Structure 1
Amino acid sequence: MQTIKGLLFDIGGVLYVGDTMISGANDTIAILQKKYPMRFLTNTTRRTPIVMMEKLNRMGFSVKIDELFTALDATKSYVHSQNGTVHTLLTDEADVWFSELKSDVPDFVVVGDAHLNFSYERMNEAFRYLLNGAKLIAAAKNKYFKEEDGLLAMDAGGFITALEFASGVEAKIIGKPSKAFFHLAVASMGLKPEEVLMIGDDIISDIQGAKDAGLHTALVKTGKFQDADLHLGIDAEYILDDVTHLLDMLDEF
């Protein structure tokens, strides 16, 4: 494998699950930060980027806001680039991130993991905006994630698919597995895709997405990983029990 010069880490499921850190993850990141530039990528859309950064730092990681690439940030940047306005279907916390872009006649309907806000009334409201000509943005379209109790929980993907089916409007996906999302993070380190390794627990969004974007890949068997992921025809270059095993792997290069 070509020499790795930079690292991209998924967050939930790789560094922690729920509010519990993967044992040794903070020490592993601290060691690697002395050797590699890195960025932290997440499709988590329940919380704002600032809250995500604060959570990581409370756990003992050292992450700066410009090292954090979130689907919410990328979505907001995209809407700004289009001079657009939005209607949102998000958690109350994430909704604040888009407050200055809100409109009763939105150009875009932005959907993320709205958690308890995924009610029939809110879904139908979004559906009607789409029928009136708004475009659909999926901040992220993951199928599921692992909760603190160790069980899988539905993510935004199923709800977004329902809106697509009902309205006939195809969603533009902003976060992983979008190539543009990976390339933005890679470019921020001044590197090329083939010089960067993506570490994730999601075989579709993290591994397939990174492969399509030209990155190297390492799949960790934590978070939402399931044994069935190994039989989907998507081959990560490396498979690790958890993120701490990355140290030994990288020592080989």
Structure 2
Amino acid sequence: MPLPTHPKAVLIDLAGVMHTGDAALPGAVAALARLRGSGLALRFLTNTTRTPGSVLFTKLCRMGFTLAAGEIQTAALAARTLVRERGLRPHWMVHPNIAEEMGASHPEPDVVVLGDMGEHFSYAGLNHAFRLLMQGVPLLAMARNRYFMEPDGLALDMGAFVAGLEYSAGVRAEVVGKPAPAFFAAALAELGVSAGYAVLIGDDLADDIGGAQDSGIAAILVRSGKFRPGDETHPEIRPALIVDDFAAAVEVLIG
């Protein structure tokens, strides 16, 4: 899917594209300033579910990025919104950092909502979720990413735990964050831009690039973060463009 000739909006992944851990990637702060100066509408899309949105916003500001809290769209917030819209009674499986943001689990849940619990995943917790699923309670996953980039290297993401529960309980999770089409559609709806006039910049071939393309959005893959050798020759997912980093992607869009 080629890049639009005159894009109106840019959807930007965060971790691996603009920063790793608590450090901005080289050239990313200046590149965002250039992109913002172009007048293009911006949204930052993240499947990170260990950090509250307010804390993530503060962290990005401390790195030097200029953005508004309302420009950040998280998978955790999307899950909470969906639970409320459907009137569900959730059993939250989330990292302690976002437990307050999500709210308390219901004593009689009718949905299991899974986030990235990191080191707080336990057999007892997973087994409790498994038993709820075996009773017919559906599984809602904030994401199903395979891995992400930490300052010291790649780290296992929550996709392994989603797949484990799916396999054991014989169910299929509904994914709320990327690559779910509704996640991209929500961002575009807020911006008032159609998919054909939007571009996504991401480092995850499947969830960023593949998800955007399935939603009719052209995508640029950066060779940073979780990018792996071989992504460039994937037989099914073909980015509109592959560049070294976020700064190079911005140069293509407005240079």
Q: Structure 2 length as normaliser, TM-score?
A: 0.95
Q: Which residue of 1 aligns with 2:194?
A: 192
Aligned ranges 1:1-253 → 2 under 5 Å: 1-35=4-38, 36-100=40-104, 102-149=105-152, 151-233=153-235, 234-251=237-254
Q: Deviations over 1:67-113 (max 9, x none)?
A: 1110001000100111011112111012222215x212111111111
2:65 partner letter: F
CA contact (8 A) 1:2 1:194 kept: no
2-structure distance, mates of 1:56, 1:106: 35
More deviation, 72-81/104-113: 104-113
Q: Deviations over 1:113-169 (max 9, x none)?
A: 1101111111111111212232100101101111111x2111000101100111112
SS for the counterpart of 2:81 is helix
Q: Structure 1 length as normaliser, TM-score?
A: 0.96
CA contact (8 A) 2:222 2:249 kept: no
CA RMSD of aligned residues (A): 1.1
2-structure distance, mates of 1:119, 1:48: 22
SS for the counterpart of 2:103 is helix
Q: Which runs of 4+ in 1 moved over 6 A?
A: none
SS for the counterpart of 1:227 is coil
Offset at residue 231 of structure 1 (A): 2.4
CA contact (8 A) 1:14 1:222 kept: yes
Offset at residue 65 of structure 1 (A): 1.9
CA contact (8 A) 2:115 2:142 kept: yes
2-structure distance, mates of 1:251, 1:38: 14
Gaps of 5+ in 2: none
1:238 partner letter: L
1:80 partner letter: R
Offset at residue 248 of structure 1 (A): 2.3
Offset at residue 185 of structure 1 (A): 0.5
Q: Deviations over 1:210-233 (max 9, x none)?
A: 000001110000000011212222
CA contact (8 A) 2:112 2:138 kept: yes
1:53 partner letter: F
SS for the counterpart of 1:146 is strand
Equivalent pairs, count: 250
2-structure distance, mates of 1:52, 1:85: 27
CA contact (8 A) 1:89 1:117 kept: no
1:22 partner letter: L
Gaps of 5+ in 1: none
2-structure distance, mates of 1:64, 1:134: 37
SS for the counterpart of 1:169 is coil
